[in-house]
Structure formats: C-alpha cells, structure tokens
C-alpha cells in the first residue's frame, strides 16, 4: 500500500530497552512490522541488507517491514531502545508483538500492514540518522507509556511516534544544508513572514537578498517542502484565518493586510485552502 507521509498514524505494538554485551547473539531477521532502534549508549552495529550502520549514543535507525536486518554482537556492550510498529492503524487488531522471522523462513503473505511512501521515500526501506539525541527523552517516555498502559495509551504512543518520525524526517531534509544555506533560508522565511502584505515573488525576494530567483525557489522548496508560491500562500491564508477568527476587520481590509489583490482574491484562495469562504469561517467563531 502506498501512502503519503501526511497519512501516517503509527500503531505501536512493542517498546522496550535492549541491553547487549559480547554474549548476545541474534540471528538475521525479517520483521513483519516496522522497527525503530535508538542507541542509548555503548557501541553497536545493526546491519540492514548487508550494509552496516554504527549505533552509538544518539544514532537512530528505522527499518520497514519485510526488510532483513541483523543486530550484531557488540565488541563490548550496547544499549538500545526498540520499537515495533506500523505506520498506520490498519492492523491495530493485531495488538500483540509480532516476532520477526529468521531469514529463510519469512512468509511475505504474513506482512500485517506494509506501506511505502510516495513522498518520504527514505522510509521505504531503511532510514538512518546519527546525533538524534533530541528525540531521546520522548522515546524514553514512550517506553514508560507502553509499560503502564493507561487509558488511551495507544493514541498517546501514536502521537509521540509521529513526533519522532517527523522530527527525524525534517532533520534529514535540512541536515544537508550548509550553514550559509540554512541562514539564508531562515532570513528569507523571516522576510516573507514580515512582508506578507506586499507582493512577493521569487524575483522580488531574490533581489532583496541578491541571489538568483532559481536559487531562492530551490532553497525554499528544499527547506519547507513546498514551492515558494505555495509556501507564501499558506502563510497568507493562515494569517487571514487568524484575523477572521479573532477580529472584526472587514474582509477587504484583511485581504490587503495578507497580500491578496482584493476581497474576491482572498475568498477564492481561502476557499481553495479550507473548503469554505472567509465569512462562513468567521461566523463559526461568533
């Protein structure tokens, strides 16, 4: 099943700590649901389809269902936090942990909820990042939530896992930026947010920062995940929605404040984005 990353709603079956030493030995496995391993300490290696990935404190790896992996015996010791999960709730009825199959015994027909992504293709097989200590506290809280199993724990775990997945994906997207690119992107975004009431185009913005328009367009697309014009429009609609819900400013004035040509332009764009016209949106807050 192919989905968009925007459609994820992770379902967690298992969260636990794993302590490994020189006596620990695992066979190569193929999982029936997805796996996450986060290195809490020590030094280890997880091999995925023959490629070794070092696992030191802060390193994290996602392995999709049906992808073979091997937790290697560490030279000394290693400590991981492991999560068994699906990217959606499609097979939530199967709530007990699903043991992986030893390579050679895997039955593809037993895959419970295998997905591939049309956009976040890095997650289709293996997704590895180093230095992700920023998610450690949340992951450890997930282990406690799973162990206690209080009311609605499945939804809380799902929300936490969504946060981890999105944080890792954003980190991977932005991590490749040089310091200059990242600073430039932040400056451009700050400029756009402060000047929504003015006409904004890649040519105008590029001139403001003395760059070629194509560079500005490419930079913002990589940084935000959206083309520049769509990103600007999303900010304008969001600002209009805020003003509609919190003030009595006439729609025509809101259009000017948010950079729309006129009230009819605001109405058309707002309805395309939200499904309802501005006046109906405002009336729901009165």
Looking at residue 172, what is its pLDDT? 80
CB 118 within 8 A of CB 2: yes
Q: Note the Cα 34 to chain centre separation in Å.
A: 16
> Please, what is the average pLDDT of the chain?
93
Looking at residue 179, what is its pLDDT? 67
Residue that terminates a domain, selected from 175, 204, 220 = 175
**Same domain membership, residue 230 and residue 156:** no
Looking at residue 124, what is its pLDDT? 95
CB 117 within 8 A of CB 4: yes
Q: What is the CATH number of the domain that holds 197?
A: 1.10.10.60
Picking from 244, 230, 243, the residue whose alpha carbon sits closest to that of residue 272 is: 230
Q: What is the CATH number of the domain that holds 31?
A: 2.60.120.280
pLDDT at 159 over 90: yes
**Same domain membership, residue 25 and residue 133:** yes
pLDDT at 278 over 70: yes
**Same domain membership, residue 48 and residue 11:** yes
Looking at residue 53, what is its pLDDT? 98
pLDDT tens-digit map of 170-182: 888 776 666 678 7
Give the mean pLDDT of 153-176: 90
pLDDT tens-digit map of 15-74: 999 999 999 999 999 999 999 999 999 999 999 999 999 999 999 999 999 999 999 999
Looking at residue 176, what is its pLDDT? 60
pLDDT at 282 over 80: yes
**Same domain membership, residue 49 and residue 94:** yes
Range of the domain at 194: 179-283
Residue that terminates a domain, selected from 155, 175, 195 = 175
Q: Hey, which residues does 45 pair with through a beta bridge?
A: 54
Q: pLDDT band for position 242 (50/70/90)?
A: very high
3-class secondary-structure state, position 183: helix
Instruction: Specify the number of domains making up the chain.
Output: 2
Q: Which helix (H) or strand (E) holds 230?
A: helix 228-246
pLDDT tens-digit map of 250-269: 999 999 999 999 999 999 99
The predicted model scores a pTM of 0.77
Picking from 166, 127, 164, the residue whose alpha carbon sits closest to that of residue 142 is: 164
pLDDT tens-digit map of 57-110: 999 999 999 999 999 999 999 999 999 999 999 999 988 888 999 999 999 988
DSSP state of 97: -
pLDDT tens-digit map of 183-236: 888 899 999 999 999 989 889 999 999 999 999 998 888 888 888 999 999 999
CB 104 within 8 A of CB 77: no
Looking at residue 132, what is its pLDDT? 94
| Euclidean distance between the first and the last CA atom of the chain, given in angstroms as a whole number | 42
E strands in the chain: 2-3, 11-21, 29-30, 34-48, 51-56, 60-63, 69-71, 77-86, 101-102, 116-117, 126-129
**Same domain membership, residue 166 and residue 183:** no
**Same domain membership, residue 121 and residue 34:** yes
């Amino acid at each position: 099943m192919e989905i968009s990353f925007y459609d994820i709603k992770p379902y967690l079956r298992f969260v636990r700590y794993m302590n490994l030493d020189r006596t620990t030995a695992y066979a190569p496995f193929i999982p029936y649901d997805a796996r996450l391993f986060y290195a809490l300490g020590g030094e280890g290696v997880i091999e995925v389809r023959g490629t070794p990935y070092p696992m030191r404190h802060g390193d994290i790896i996602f392995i999709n269902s049906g992808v073979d992996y091997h937790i290697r015996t560490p030279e000394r010791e290693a400590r991981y936090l492991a999560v068994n999960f699906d990217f959606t709730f499609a097979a939530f009825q199967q709530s007990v942990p699903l043991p992986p199959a030893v390579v050679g015994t895997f039955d593809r027909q037993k895959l419970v909820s295998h997905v591939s992504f049309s956009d976040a293709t890095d997650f289709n097989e293996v997704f590895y990042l180093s230095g992700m200590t920023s998610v450690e506290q949340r992951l450890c809280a997930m282990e406690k939530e799973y162990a206690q199993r209080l009311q609605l724990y499945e939804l809380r775990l799902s929300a936490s896992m969504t946060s981890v997945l999105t944080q890792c994906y954003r980190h991977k997207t932005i991590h490749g930026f040089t310091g200059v690119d990242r600073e430039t992107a932040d400056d451009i975004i700050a400029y756009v947010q402060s000047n929504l009431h003015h006409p904004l185009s890649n040519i105008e913005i590029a001139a403001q920062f003395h760059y070629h328009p194509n560079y500005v367009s490419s930079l913002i697309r990589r940084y935000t995940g959206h083309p520049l014009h769509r990103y600007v429009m999303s900010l304008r609609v969001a600002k209009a929605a805020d003003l509609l819900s919190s003030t009595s400013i006439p729609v025509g004035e809101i259009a000017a404040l948010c950079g729309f040509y006129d009230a009819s332009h605001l109405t058309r764009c707002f309805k395309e984005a939200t499904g309802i016209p501005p006046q109906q949106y405002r009336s729901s807050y009165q």
